[in-house]
Amino acid sequence: MTSETITAAAAGTWRLGDLTVNRIGFGAMRLTQNGGAFGDGVPSDRGRAIAVLRRAVELGVDHIDTASFYFSPLRSANELINRALAPYPDDLVIVTKVWPGRDPSGRWWWATPEQLRGQVEENLRQLGRDHLDVVNLRVPPGSQTRSIAEHFGALAGLREAGLVRHLGISNATPGHLAEALAIAPVVCVQNPYGIGLRSADHAFLRACGEQGVAFVPFFAIAGTGAEAGAGAADGDEVLAVARAHGATAAQVRLAWTLQQGPHVLAIPGTGNPDHLTDNVAAGALRLSPEELARLGAVPGA
């Protein structure tokens, strides 16, 4: 497929509360370094990262996912976004996440409900904004049965105070969604999802659609490589579908993910301008029902 003239509008739109976004967005995690995860790789070229962000907006991307803990020794994703895009376009939606944090040395910590305001304010300072469009409460690993009511309630208070416009949850379960919805509206669920990942989330994805909640997969391209990026070779099924469409394996993975429902968004991240163009173009790739089924049957999916 030809990528050069395709914009994010080709993927269609969905609403995050009262905010309409194209279903292909951009994840900022990989902007700060080349390879590795959270400070383990080589710092990225600042000028190139800024150029990628500006090109993303030129290609119609109006949904950027970031966090204050996306930084490497020399780069901060939020600072790059601020430098590249402020003053921000009126239609640009910036989504961030709180609960986890990293101190200046890179060590992880997890906020108490009372500390969430400080994390929100840190994102506001870095981005140069007076409110955040969407804030996801990122549930800690291994906390699938843990209550999120106290933390989500604190975020709901920040929403009432005007610091946050809309709320979401990340790395969450159906139980977490039900718990959150009893406290305040939820516009999105952001979970790992894609070909070969977390089969349990198929039902959760569908349930989100039934409730009008966006499902926003991360690692749709990276798969089991997670934060470190795509590492394992793509399987025969993915490669066969890619050849049939003259597309890349990454584009097939994104297209498959988007075609799981009209409420499914994608936030592929890259610091490579060519990969950015290909990722955006994946929103125009339409797989057949037979191809969707074949890919859905890939082991692990």
| Digitized pLDDT (tens) for each residue of the chain, 301 residues in all | 666 689 999 999 999 999 999 999 999 999 998 876 666 667 789 999 999 999 999 999 999 999 999 999 899 999 999 999 999 999 999 999 999 999 999 999 999 999 999 999 999 999 999 999 999 999 999 898 999 999 999 999 999 999 999 999 999 999 999 999 999 999 999 999 999 876 678 899 999 999 999 999 987 886 544 444 444 557 889 999 999 999 999 999 999 999 999 999 999 999 999 999 999 999 999 999 999 999 998 876 4
**Residue 49: which residues within 8 A CB-CB, separation 6 or more?**
31, 32, 75, 80, 84, 271
* DSSP 8-class letter at 278: H
Burial readout 226-243 (b: 16 or more C-beta within 10 A, e: otherwise): eeebbeeebeebbeebbe
Q: Is 204 in a helix, a strand, or coil?
A: helix
Which of 14, 26, 70, 256 is catalytic? The answer is 70
Residues 6+ apart with CB under 8 A from 141: 171
Q: Are 227 and 28 in contact (CB under 8 A)?
A: no
In the annotation, is 88 catalytic? no
pTM over 0.85: yes
Q: What CATH topology corresponds to 8-296?
A: TIM Barrel (3.20.20)
Q: What single DSSP character describes residue 32? A: S
